[in-house]
Each structure stands twice: as structure tokens, then as C-alpha cells.
Amino acid sequence: MVASDQRPFDNAIRGGDPSIREIPADVDVSTLMETHRSEAFDHRGIRQDPNLAFPLDRLRDLTEAGRIGSLNHRHLSIMGSVTAPGRLIKKTIPLVVPRLLLDKVDMALLIPV
């Protein structure tokens, strides 16, 4: 998922775009755009309700209900259908982990799309 003011993931990169998008915690989920290139599933559901792939509204509901403590001030999005995982491991993960440590995140929710 990308925010409306961010560039979409680059579908032309062979093996998948290893870049990261930071999504601010206060984003209106309805403005998020799914730009994954996979043809392995029907994208219409996610385009109608981005919470199917990026369940920020559901996590906010859990926070408000006291089921979880809090959410981070930012969320990270990585392109789905990356078929070159070596690049993801070598280029992307080393950028993600320091951010999670800096933010003192207790848990990360990974949602494969």
C-alpha cells in the first residue's frame, strides 16, 4: 500500500520493487492505494477496502477497545509479490529493522499480499 502522496511501487523492476513506504499513523485508510503487481489474486476487494491488506482501521478499533496498547507513529509497506527475495533481504530488511528498533516496537504485524 502507498499513501496518495507517495509514488507507487515500480512494477517494472524485475523481481519486485524492494523500496519501502512509510505510512503515517493518522492516514485515512480509504486514501491508500494498492499498487502490487501480482496477477495471482483479484485486487478489487483490496481496492474497495484497503483494510483487507493494511488493517489499520481494525488495529485502531482494537486500540480503542483496550485490546492492544498502542500503535506506532508510522507503519511500513513493502511491495507484494516480490519474486527476488534476496534483494528484499539484502536491501530492504536492513532499512526496516533499525526503524522498528528506533521506535521501540514490541511487535510487528506482517500481512502478505
What is the CA 87 to chain-centroid distance, rounded? 17
Look at residue 102 in the predicted model and tell me its pLDDT. 97
Q: How many domains does the chain have?
A: 1
61: its cell numbers: 478499533
Backbone angles phi, psi at 23, to 5 degrees: -110, 120
Inside any domain, residue 8: no
Q: Which domain holds residue 83?
A: 20-102
Inside any domain, residue 34: yes
H helix and E strand count, the chain: 4, 2
Inside any domain, residue 56: yes
Look at residue 82 in the predicted model and tell me its pLDDT. 86
Which residue has 515500480 as its cell numbers? Answer: 10
Look at residue 37 in the predicted model and tell me its pLDDT. 76
Look at residue 31 in the predicted model and tell me its pLDDT. 94
Look at residue 36 in the predicted model and tell me its pLDDT. 79
* CA angle in degrees (0–180, nearest 5) for 54-59-62: 160
Inside any domain, residue 109: no
Inside any domain, residue 7: no
Report helix, strand or coil for 93: helix
pLDDT tens-place string over residues 55-76: 999 999 999 999 999 999 999 9
Q: Which residues of the chain have pLDDT under 70?
A: none
pTM for this predicted structure: 0.88
